Amino acid sequence: MRPSDRVAALIENPYQLPLKGVSVIAIASINEALMDKLAIAFLASNNGTSFRTVNEAIRANTVNAAAVVLVSNRASSAALAYAEANGIPSFHIPTKDREAEADKQLRDMLVAYGAELVILSGYLKKLGPLTLAAFDGRILNVHPGLLPKYGGLGMYGRRVHQAVLDNRETETGATIHLVDGEYDHGRTVATTTVQIHPDDSVLSLEQRVMVAEGDLFTDLIRRISIGGLRLPL
């Protein structure tokens, strides 16, 4: 269903960041303007590196998509500041001790903004059943390692890179997978490998894997936007 066909109703959200001029009419106008673009929503807890990379590709017109909204569970997230600076509607929806309410707010937010694809960019919370059901086959996460060996609860960010180096692996990589109710569990959609150098540190490896993640996500979104892959996946 294209964004223009979605219900364009701005939900009440007491945690909404200030958004100049945003209204129900504004959302409807945005959705109508994006009829021919893949409407992507992003979720990020911290920096949102993949979110930034994909948005730069959108700005450069190398992918036929649009960033329609950014949601974070952390008010201090740098991704929120980046989104605001780039004119992308951005919201803080806290989840601590209010998981069910946050799940409903997030589901309603994504529907209101006409999201066709939801991308997790370092979003460190499990999604709730309402959001998962509403966007089944349309939620993707990028993991900074090769799954399933380097995934699961507590295996994220630099912890993955440290584990890879501790095990003296010769290669690592990035994995894009569908999101379900378990950490790093959904079906793998795309993967790429990154060679490990003898003198690599956690930081140097992290930097190269981040680049690989962004390239992998951008290529996958391009394939979806031109019909090479059809949603839901």
**Catalytic center residues:** 143
> Rounded CA gap, 14 and 173, in Å?
39
Assigned token pair, 23? 């209204």
State both tokens at 113. 């903004």
Residues 6 or more apart whose CB falls under 8 angstroms from that of 198 comprise: none
Q: Please state the φ and ψ torsions of residue 176, each to the nearest 5 degrees.
A: -105, 125
Burial class (CB in 10 A: 0-12, 13-18, 19+), 173: buried
Q: CA separation (Å) from 230 to 66, 117, 119, 137, 224?
A: 17, 11, 16, 10, 6
CA 174 to chain centre: 14
Burial class (CB in 10 A: 0-12, 13-18, 19+), 198: exposed
**The pair of three-digit structure tokens given for residue 165, joined into one six-digit string:** 């180096």
| Helix (H), strand (E) at residue 26 | helix 24-33
